[in-house]
Amino acid sequence: MTPFTNAVLAGIFFGLWPLIMNRSGLNLITSSAVFYSVGLLVVMPFALRGASFAGGNGTVAAAAGLAGVLGLLAFNAMLAKTAPQQAAMMFMVMIVVQIAVPALSRTPAL
């Protein structure tokens, strides 16, 4: 697939999962645990086949993982406390901030 196709698919799936998860009725912690558990089950077979930590920085990778987990918890907390009428606005705020972080960072994007 082309990078453009992957970007479109990522946008579709990243847009869909919170809407679907919100309908599950699970609380913040449980929905986050389900999200990461399913992700681990799906990704692990591929990761084990080609896993290599050689040349990588485990501390930086762990920091990135921590940032992702904290972001997911904040995102799920936002979803749990936002009325359906306000969800689109909250998504837009999150996306604008998400775009601004690397734009304002001194660290070049990958």
pTM, 2 dp: 0.76
Note the pLDDT tens digit of each residue in 1-49.
899 999 999 989 988 888 888 888 888 899 999 999 999 999 989 888 8
User: Does residue 95 fall inside a structural domain?
Assistant: no
Instruction: Tell me the two tokens of residue 101.
Output: 């972080």
97 assigned to some structural domain:
no
- Domain ranges, residue 14: 3-82
Going by C-beta distance under 8 Å and a sequence separation of 6 or more, which residues neighbour residue 17? 35
Nearest residue to 40 via CA among 48, 30, 29, 52: 48
| C-alpha span between 31 and 24 (Å, rounded) | 8
Closest CA to 20 of 74, 76, 98: 76
Q: Is residue 106 part of a domain?
A: no
pLDDT tens-digit readout, 41-78: 999 898 888 777 778 888 998 999 999 999 999 988 88
How many angstroms separate the CA atoms of 110 and 48, rounded?
Answer: 23
Q: Is residue 40 part of a domain?
A: yes
Looking at the domain assignment, is residue 77 inside a domain? yes
Number of separate domains in the chain: 1
- Please determine, for residue 108, whether its predicted confidence score (pLDDT) is greater than 70: no
Residue 46, domain member (yes or no): yes
Where would I find the H helices in 1-110?
3-24, 28-50, 58-81, 87-104
